[in-house]
Amino acid sequence: MTQTIVEAKLTGNTAFQMDLDGHDFITDASIEAGGNDLGPRPKKLLLAGLIGCTGMDVVSILKKMKVEPESIRLEAKAESSKEHPKVYTEIHLTYRFKGKNLPMDKLERAVTLSQERYCGVSAMLKKAAPVTYDIVIEE
pLDDT digits (tens, 9 = 90+) for 20-56: 999 999 999 999 999 999 999 999 999 999 999 999 9
Model pLDDT, residue 139: 86
Rounded CA gap, 13 and 42, in Å? 15
Whole-model pTM?
A: 0.94
Rounded CA gap, 2 and 13, in Å? 33
- In terms of Cβ atoms closer than 10 Å to its own Cβ (0-12, 13-18, 19+), residue 76 is buried
* Sign of the dihedral through C-alpha 98, 64, 50, 123: positive
Kindly report, residue by residue over 70-121, the tens digit of the pLDDT: 999 999 999 999 999 999 999 999 999 999 999 999 999 999 999 999 999 9
Model pLDDT, residue 1: 87
Listed in sequence order, the residues at least 6 apart from 128 whose beta carbon sits closer than 8 Å to its beta carbon are: 87, 88
